[in-house]
Amino acid sequence: AQSVTQLDSQVPVFEEAPVELRCNYSSSVSVYLFWYVQYPNQGLQLLLKYLSGSTLVESINGFEAEFNKSQTSFHLRKPSVHISDTAEYFCAVTQGGSEKLVFGKGTKLTVNP
């Protein structure tokens, strides 16, 4: 069965610092990969996704993630964070043809002034 590991449950950083949220998954056979964000008191929102093609995917608010098949990783990065990026971030994976998203346990990103 698929599994997703988010190695850090909490990541505190200062504003304008770079950040990397780590995600590893268990199988590289025909996977689709996603990052979701949950802002305080809000629902889950899709941040970005990898389906095929270029291994580097970007979101509209400056986050990017790179699919690394050999390391079965899909780490999320941002070169300079804002206080408004404070949220919980979930990595998720599904195998082609399946409708079941398997989520990691989440990483709480706190951006401090």
Q: Which residues bind other proteins (CB under 8 A)?
A: 32, 36, 42-46, 49, 51, 90, 92, 94, 96, 98-106
We find the least distance from the C-beta atom of residue 65 to other proteins, in angstroms, to be 16
Q: Judged by CB, which is closer to other proteins: 85, or 106?
A: 106
Q: How far is CA 86 from CA 22, 39, 62, 66, 93, in A?
A: 16, 7, 14, 21, 23
Q: Judged by CB, which is closer to other proteins: 4, or 81?
A: 4
Q: Judged by CB, which is closer to other proteins: 97, or 113?
A: 97
Query: Phi and psi of 32, rounded to 5°?
Result: -115, 140
Q: How far is CA 71 from CA 2, 26, 40, 93, 96, in A?
A: 15, 10, 32, 15, 19
We find the least distance from the C-beta atom of residue 10 to other proteins, in angstroms, to be 14
